[in-house]
Structure 1
């Protein structure tokens, strides 16, 4: 009997399952939403929410724990600086699973897993100052070139 067995094995051995879930959390952090099977989405959710909780803690030990689980420093940085900040007022339930229906090839139930708090990264605005001479040259109308007549047209006229 399977009483109180939390781990979903997903037909993989332990190291493959751990690597797959880690990669899926990294993809979720990077792309904000991933499309996967319903079983995998349900398996990813606890790890993703645990990573956001570490990000909300924000100390060095939490950052090291996140790097140990995800293995990608850039993803951990984005997790701590963007996703955890956007979720600071929420006490758990950081992800949403939306069912999509059956996959055409094998009828596997598909789902989106995404962050509940829609965070938008701040766009970096660059101020471009143009020189006054360059602005005047762009405003001046351009001269049209005279088109050449084809040599064949000239030979036919003679």
Structure 2
């Protein structure tokens, strides 16, 4: 019986499974980001995170223990060098899993697994957001009752609409993943191409969509986008019942 045993064997023998996780961990440490299935990524995370924790303490014993798991000198050098420097201040959670949707052929759940501290785009976005938040905050601790009463009422009335306009601008864009056949990764690609709403997707040319998918790599060229315009048009017009009936006839963006 499997009481308390939650490890996924991944339909492999013990030796095959260990060799596969060793290779995946080596690729993750060397390239900082790899694409694999969700099941393998979850097992890889349990395998590699204790190794990353041990790498933060560069000692002879830790190098020996890690070498038993990875068995690759170049990976050990990269792990105890650049990777250890980046994760030195992080207490845990060194990896991130980003789901990409199902792949064609075996319909397996695919994802990206990456080292959190090496995603420069997300780090820059988080820093910019924190800076913007710091700039917009205003403290009232130093102002007394006299200063508050001296503020003209017209000034308060003029600043309120500005806040409403700002919040309206921030809420632009639709959730394109509601369209059958569009996952989070494809929605991100379409947003980068300037397609952020159902109306823009409904009016977009097939060449524009295919070009956005082609720039992301050959695996995205396999997606059939012929029904996306029709679905987006129904979503734009609020015809949710008709949209659901259409999506029931579709599977992964293709008509059955």
* Alignment TM-score, normalising by the size of structure 1: 0.73
> Which structure 1 residue ranges, 4+ long, deviate > 2 Å from structure 2?
none
Paired residue total: 120
1:60-99 pair list within 5 angstroms: 60-99=60-99
Q: Tell me by how many angstroms 1:84 deviates.
A: 1.4
5+ residue gaps, structure 1: 121-158
Partner of 2:13: 13
- The separation in 2 between residues aligned to 1:32 and 1:119, in whole angstroms, is 8
- The separation in 1 between residues aligned to 2:63 and 2:54, in whole angstroms, is 7
Partner of 1:112: 112
Query: Compared with structure 1, are the counterparts of its residues 73 and 119 closer, same or farther at alpha carbon in structure 2 (3 Å cutoff)?
Result: farther
- The separation in 2 between residues aligned to 1:6 and 1:73, in whole angstroms, is 31
- The separation in 2 between residues aligned to 1:105 and 1:116, in whole angstroms, is 30
Rg bigger for which structure?
1
- The separation in 1 between residues aligned to 2:23 and 2:103, in whole angstroms, is 22
Deviations 1:92-143 (A, max 9, x none): 10000010000111110001000000178xxxxxxxxxxxxxxxxxxxxxxx
- The separation in 1 between residues aligned to 2:14 and 2:83, in whole angstroms, is 28
Partner of 1:31: 31
Output the aligned Cα RMSD.
Answer: 1.4
Deviations 1:34-79 (A, max 9, x none): 0000000000001111111111021111001111100101101100
Q: Tell me by how many angstroms 1:3 deviates.
A: 3.7
Q: Tell me by how many angstroms 1:2 deviates.
A: 4.0
SS in 2 for 1:117: helix
SS in 2 for 1:57: coil
5+ residue gaps, structure 2: 121-256
- The separation in 1 between residues aligned to 2:6 and 2:22, in whole angstroms, is 17
Give the structure with the larger helix fraction.
Answer: 2
